[in-house]
Amino acid sequence: MNKQLIRQLINGQAHDLAIYPNRSLLEVLREEISLTGTKCGCDDSSCGCCTVLVNGMPMLSCVMLAASYQEAEITTIEGVAREGQLDPLQRGFCEAGGAQCGFCTPGMIITARALLEANPNPSHEEINQALGGNLCRCTGYTQILESIDRAIQLMRIHREAAVGR
């Protein structure tokens, strides 16, 4: 098997990589560029821990061949905070207890981020629909829902502050 050259924009940074075509995006992220924030919970696309944004869409990186995503824009959990400041979702997950063991948290935050970008004021039903593929074994999801509510509230405060200025 020959390695293949690919270029991807990962968390805003261009990466030129020589990879085997059978490597999953998850393996490439974790092993080639040491972005270990994206987790492997199941290796068969059933848990959502490995969710990353690919061109803005939440996707399961464990079942994506990295080589098929030439020039893709990828956001992992490491790319969510900006200039060292936690994103409202990250703050929400801290403040409302959405992260217990933290293993599902990166995937949860990535999925929730895609949702909030498309719909800044989702109902609980819409949040539950969006997160249906991200399993958590610690929280029973109640505090995850509260964390996202908290993030929505924080984002609203930010927006209002920005308008006020």
d(CA 159, CA 130): 23
Residues 6+ apart with CB under 8 A from 48: 41, 60, 104, 107, 108, 111, 131, 133, 134, 135
Q: Please select the residue that binds another protein; options are 6, 24, 139, 154, rule is CB under 8 A.
A: 139
- Contact (CB, 8 A) for 76 and 37: yes
The minimum distance between CB 130 and another protein, in angstroms, equals: 8
Specify the stretch interacting with another protein by CB under 8 A; choose among 53-61, 65-73, 86-94, 114-122.
86-94
Please tell me whether residue 40 binds another protein under the rule CB under 8 A: yes
Please tell me whether residue 68 binds another protein under the rule CB under 8 A: no
- Give the DSSP H/E element, type plus range, for residue 155: helix 142-164
Comparison of 52 and 64: residue with beta carbon closer to another protein: 52
The minimum distance between CB 163 and another protein, in angstroms, equals: 27
**The two three-digit tokens of residue 74, written as one number:** 């990828």
- Binding residues with another protein: total (CB under 8 A): 55
Neighbour tally for 146: CB within 10 Å? 17
Interacting residues with another protein between 99 and 138 (CB under 8 A): 99-106, 109, 127-129, 131-138
19 in helix, strand or coil? strand
Specify the stretch interacting with another protein by CB under 8 A; choose among 65-73, 75-83, 113-121, 156-164.
75-83
Tokens 């074994």 — which residue? 137
Q: Which residues pair with 60 in a beta bridge?
A: 51
Please tell me whether residue 39 binds another protein under the rule CB under 8 A: yes
Residues near another protein (CB under 8 A) are 30, 34-44, 46-47, 49, 76-78, 80-81, 86, 89-90, 93-97, 99-106, 109, 127-129, 131-145
